[in-house]
Amino acid sequence: MFIGKYEVRFFCVHGILFGTFWIFLSTVALAYDGLVILGFGDSITVGYPYLDGYAAGCNCGMYEKNLEQMLNDCGHPNLVFNWGYSGESTAGGMNRIESNIQTAINQWGHVDFILLMEGTNDYDYGFSPGTTRFNLDVMIEKVRGIPDFHITPILGTLTPDTANPAKSIPSYNAQIRDLALQKNVLLVDHYSAMVDNWGVLNYDGLHPNEHGYYQLASQWFKGLQPLVGPCGIVPTGAYLLLLRH
In a domain, 7, yes or no: no
Does residue 24 carry a pLDDT above 70? Answer: no
Q: Is residue 17 part of a domain?
A: no
Q: Which domain holds residue 68?
A: 30-244
Q: What is the total count of domains within the chain?
A: 1
Tell me the β-bridge partners of 154.
Answer: 115, 186
- 3-class secondary structure, 169: helix
Q: How confident is the model at residue 6 (pLDDT cuts 50, 70, 90)?
A: very low
Does any domain span residue 133?
Answer: yes
| 18 located within any domain | no
Q: What whole-number percentage of the chain has pLDDT above 90?
A: 79
What pLDDT is stored for residue 31 in this prediction? 78
Which pLDDT band, with edges at 50, 70 and 90, does 233 fall under?
low
Distance CA 32, CA 77 (A): 10
Q: Are 66 and 72 in contact (CB under 8 A)?
A: no
C-alpha gyration radius of the chain: 20
What is the rounded CA–CA span in Å between residue 201 and residue 217?
Answer: 13
Domain annotation covers residue 183: yes
Residue 175 falls inside a structural domain:
yes
Q: Per-residue pLDDT averaged across 22-31, rounded? A: 47
| Residues 39-82 pLDDT 10s | 999 999 999 999 999 999 999 999 999 999 999 999 999 999 99
CATH of the domain at 119: 3.40.50.1110
Reported pTM: 0.84
238, pLDDT greater than 90: no
Please tell me the predicted confidence (pLDDT) of residue 18: 35
In a domain, 145, yes or no: yes
